[in-house]
Amino acid sequence: MSNLDVGDKAPSFDLPTDNGGSLKLSDHKGKTVVLYFYPKDMTPGCTTESQDFRDRIKGFEKSGAVIVGASKDSVVRHDKFVAKHNLPFALISDENGTLCEDYGVWKLKKLYGREFMGIERSTFIIDGKGVIRHIWRKVKVKGHVDDVLGTVQAL
């Protein structure tokens, strides 16, 4: 389990995405990458968060930032999620959980007295040199994307 901090080198990756693609962190060298981890496609909080990123995409693009979503959902499920909500950015499929482990977002969670392992909603801003510039953990969806956009614009 990773304890990443601001100033650390972001763990690299090369994973499949929606629409039959694949994505490496190095594909976006020189650009700011907003990497957000979310628990599951098609669930209310994850849908709202993804729609918020979609709705503010122009602001991120103006600031030279690329949005990348990541969950343990399959590429097929990502394809359905992207199509249903018209998402204009890549969703990484981390089915084996390596990326979640590398970024330290695979955590013991509690819900209604039940304990289980799952993705802790988290967002990382990675600069063009691959260095982590900002981290949000235990993200609350409401207002989060605005916070991220403001932080990216201030870089």
Rg over alpha carbons for the chain, rounded to the nearest Å, is: 14
Handedness of CA 4, 15, 31, 34 (dihedral sign): negative
pLDDT band for position 110 (50/70/90)? confident
What confidence tier does 111 reach under pLDDT thresholds 50, 70, 90? confident
Q: Tell me which amino acid residue 58 is.
A: K
Q: Tell me: the pLDDT tens digits for 39-95?
A: 999 999 999 999 999 999 999 999 999 999 999 999 999 999 999 999 999 999 999
pLDDT score for 3: 83
Judge contact between 24 and 113, C-beta under 8 A.
no
Q: How far apart are CA 124 and CA 25, in angstroms?
A: 12
pTM of full prediction above 0.85: yes
Q: How many residues does the chain have?
A: 155
Q: Which positions are catalytic?
A: 46
* pLDDT, averaged across the chain: 95
Residue 58, C-beta contacts closer than 8 angstroms, at least 6 positions apart: none
Q: How far is residue 134's CA from residue 105's CA, in Å, rounded to a whole number?
A: 15
Res 2: pLDDT: 64
Report d(CA 47, CA 39) in Å as an integer.
10
Tell me the domains of the chain and their CATH numbers.
30-154 (3.40.30.10)
Confidence at residue 106, expressed as pLDDT on a 0 to 100 scale? 96
Does pLDDT of 126 surpass 80? yes
